Amino acid sequence: MSNPTLPQPEPTPGNTAWWTHDRFGLFIHWGIYALAARHEWVKKYEQISDADYQPYFDHFDPDLYDPAEWARIAREAGMRYVVLTSKHHDGFCLWDSQLTDYRATNTPAGRDLLRPFVEAFRAEGLKVGFYYSLIDWHHPEFPVDGVHPQANDLAFREATKDRDVRKYAEYLHGQVREILTMFGTIDLLWLDFSYSQQDYGWSKGKGKDDWQSEKLIEMVREINPDIIINNRSEIEQDFHTPEQFIPPSWLHIDGKPVNWESCQTLNGSWGYHRDNLDWKSPQLLVEMLIDCVSKGGNMLMNVGPTGRGEFDPRAQATLAEIGGWMRQHGRAIYGCTQAPYTPPRDCRYTYNPETNRLYLHVFAWPLKYLHLPGLRNRVRYAQLLNDGSGVKTFDFTQHHRYPSGGEDLLTLELPIQKPDVHTPVVELFLCE
Ligand code: GLC
């Protein structure tokens, strides 16, 4: 059905134009937790002390790290931007931070890992973003709270009770300044995360007052007014980040449509997880990407590289499959958004307002006919996108008594065999 009131987010402080166009990004969680190889929260989950976590720092030697290879894989998968964890909750820093010793240069890696990363991804034409953890389980002034790995260690809590979050905030501001000034213009900042509503009894969660988010954002905008920033510092900025779920329709906050990006894992873990078997199929991931774009959103798909610095073979195989689909169907994703029509059952629409083309993504291949409500006399030409083969369109009711789906149905005649692609797409050239 024609829907003239498509959601339209209000303008935000940063420049989201490239981001809403590009739609598909690569998230990378990489740090010394890759050596533990059992989730990036391992330090918390297993209540590991600094001393017991230290071996991962002492043995971090990513000798196979080749960011040019990462960037090539990402581009071939159809991704247009990348977000890498410069620091995760464990506090380990991938760059040569002057504000801490807890950094890659002091591990056997012995070098700054961010600079070659930024250069490699830029060379492949991707926009570059940094994830930065607001939480820090290593910093000596980060007050112990309910999510801290030592939360249950009463002696530790007692010994650290004088920690001053203001001193930590100073450090965090200094580090964000570093990552945004040391490597040229950074396009996106992904802060993670706030939990001020949490009350553990003996401690409270942390949020914008602890991080001094207003001041932080002000500083970031001063460095780069166009940068786009997510919402997790507890201050609304350019986009929202539903994590491992896709909203049922265009995401609304306080009744208003917003820019949104669903971040997704390949297997439930962000960091490298050797023994995890929960791998999503490429088919499912393609459908998830389509689903996001059909609701006006982006998808940020994660890979957790190994301790030696490679994407493991399972991730590589998945990305290659998605890339195969993107190569043929990219124009149903880039520059597309929610369509002003309601798709038939088991299908999604994406729509490119510039070219006025509507893309019908068929999740369950039907028998021969597919009936599209509201599209009679609105389509000039239809073709399968994978091979550019024409698809016949007609008014079904001229030939059959059924269906009784309304006067405005347009019917497509599809081949009996599903095209050999993850999700077939019919490109519909709409009338002016
Ligand atoms: C989280 C987790 C985390 C992951 C992330 C991605 O809140 O703490 O480990 O980095 O979000 O969205």
Q: How far is CA 397 from the centre of its chain?
A: 44
Tokens found for residue 352: 């490119």
CA of 60 from ligand 1 middle (Å) equals 22
User: Sheet of 24-28: strands edge to edge?
Assistant: 228-229, 188-192, 127-133, 81-87, 24-28, 298-303, 261-264
Atom 3 of ligand 1, residue of closest alpha carbon? 270
Is the pTM for the entire model greater than 0.75? yes
**Element (H or E) spanning 372, and its range?**
strand 369-372
**CA–CA separation, 272 and 142 (whole Å):** 26
| Alpha-carbon torsion, ordered 202, 206, 208, 211, to 10 deg | 110
CA of 192 from ligand 1 middle (Å) equals 7
CA of 177 from ligand 1 middle (Å) equals 22
Q: Is 243 in the pocket of ligand 1 (CB under 6 A)?
A: yes
CA of 224 from ligand 1 middle (Å) equals 25
Q: What is the mean pLDDT of the chain?
A: 96
Phi and psi torsions of 401, nearest 5°: -75, -20
Q: Which amino acid, 106?
A: N
pLDDT digits (tens, 9 = 90+) for 119-155: 999 999 999 999 999 999 999 999 999 999 999 999 9
Give 3's pLDDT tier (boundaries 50, 70, 90): very low
| Residue 85 alpha carbon, nearest atom of ligand 1 | 10
Q: Is 263 in the pocket of ligand 1 (CB under 6 A)?
A: yes
Mean pLDDT of 259-281: 98
| Residue 41 alpha carbon, nearest atom of ligand 1 | 9
CA of 82 from ligand 1 middle (Å) equals 16
Amino acid 404: pLDDT: 60
Q: Which of 193, 231, 233, 234 to mutate to test the pocket of ligand 1 (most atoms within 8 A of CB)?
A: 193
Phi and psi torsions of 132, nearest 5°: -135, 125
